[in-house]
Amino acid sequence: TPQFKISAKDSLGVSSYHIFITLNTFDLTDINMDNVYLYTVVTEKYISFAEPPGSNGETEFYDVMREMLPNPNGFQLIDLSSNSSKEFTYSVMLDSEWDVSQLNTVIFIQNKESKEVYQSFSIN
């Protein structure tokens, strides 16, 4: 039985991308929450170049990370308790080189020490 449920939606503004996350918890008695973090990763599903941007000859790239929110360290979930709910809202400024039709957000809950992933979710 999962200990977490993630639901999320996104929206595009004129110059920003918004992510709205709802996190529900169930029985957390077997989890030490000291090392549990929520990671939110904005990706671009597909990018192609006419000429290789690097030296390996590749011109097509999939699931390219663009931003980690609120930062690469994630958000520590130490204050969560069993059978509770918490909401998160993030916004990121759009880069002119991003193809907004290819944006996606991947969200996951991970124990930073053991690396165990408890739950994950992808908006698109």
The more confidently predicted of residues 124 and 84 is 84
**Dihedral, CA atoms, 43, 46, 49, 53, nearest 10 degrees?**
40
* 123 neighbors 90 (Cβ within 8 angstroms): no
Helix residue spans in the chain (DSSP H): none
- Burial bucket for residue 118 (CB in 10 Å: 0-12, 13-18, 19+): middle
Give the Cα separation of 114 and 32 in Å (integer): 11
> Which pTM does this prediction carry?
0.92
pLDDT tens digits for range 79-104: 999 999 999 999 999 999 999 999 99
pLDDT tens digits for range 2-54: 999 999 999 999 999 999 999 999 999 999 999 999 999 999 999 999 999 99
The 8 Å CB, 24+ separation contacts for 52-55 are: none
Domains and CATH numbers, the chain: 4-122 (2.60.40.10)
Residues pairing with 68 in the sheet: 41
- pLDDT of 124 over the 90 cut: no
Name 71's Cβ contacts closer than 8 Å, sequence gap at least 6.
Answer: none
- pLDDT of 115 over the 90 cut: yes
